[in-house]
Amino acid sequence: MTKETIGLDQILSISGKPGLFKIVMQTRTGFIAESLIDKRKVNVNIHSNVSILSEIAVYTLSEELPLRDVLKKIMDKENGQPTSISHKDSKDTLEEYFFNVLPDYDEDRVYASDIKKIVQWYNLLQQHDLLGALEETEDDAAKVTSDEEE
């Protein structure tokens, strides 16, 4: 059985629901998503507050860094293993860890609750063997290349 390839554009966070979800299928009124935590399927209305991971960025002092790049930095730091801290650790522990991953993150605009989510999301992706979703697609790479040439 081959492992399906899922990109960050198919993984999302749903406001009010813990963890991450992957899109299973579109419906007329939204889509069906499956929880990475317990595999339960939920019907997501198009009016729900949903964040697609590929469209999230983290504030740094110089730019907004795509979540994909932040998660890659965590993956590099942890050698693809779960994080050395828990998303339930103290605010100070979370901030110190995140500073080691992304030294120029904007401490005024990135809150401990944001760091907590990012650590939890990384661990969920790692646990479900979805870190491959962090690899850029050919379209992403082509876009970056064309942006740099301008």
Write out pLDDT tens, residues 82-138.
Answer: 999 999 999 999 999 999 999 999 999 999 999 999 999 999 999 999 998 888 654
**Other CB atoms within 10 A of residue 143 CB:** 12
Residues 72 and 135: beta-carbon distance below 8 Å: no
| Mean pLDDT, rounded, for 64-75 | 97
pTM of structure = 0.85
The confidence score (pLDDT) of residue 6 equals 83
**Is the model's pLDDT at 148 over the cut of 50?**
no
**Other CB atoms within 10 A of residue 118 CB:** 23
Compute the distance between CA of residue 111 and CA of residue 141 in angstroms, rounded to an integer.
Answer: 30
DSSP letter string, 26-58: EETTEEEEEETTT--EEEEETTS-EEEGGG-EE
Residues 14 and 49: beta-carbon distance below 8 Å: yes
The confidence score (pLDDT) of residue 40 equals 95
Residues 145 and 136: beta-carbon distance below 8 Å: no
Structure tokens at 125: 């992706």
The confidence score (pLDDT) of residue 141 equals 45
Task: For each of the domains in the chain, give its residue range(s) and CATH number, in order of start.
Answer: 8-53 (2.30.30.730), 55-134 (1.10.10.1650)
The set of residues, in sequence order, having a beta carbon less than 8 Å from that of 31 and lying 6+ positions away, is 23, 24, 25, 44
Length of the chain: 150
Q: Which residues pair with 59 in a beta bridge?
A: 64
The mean of the pLDDT values for the chain is: 88
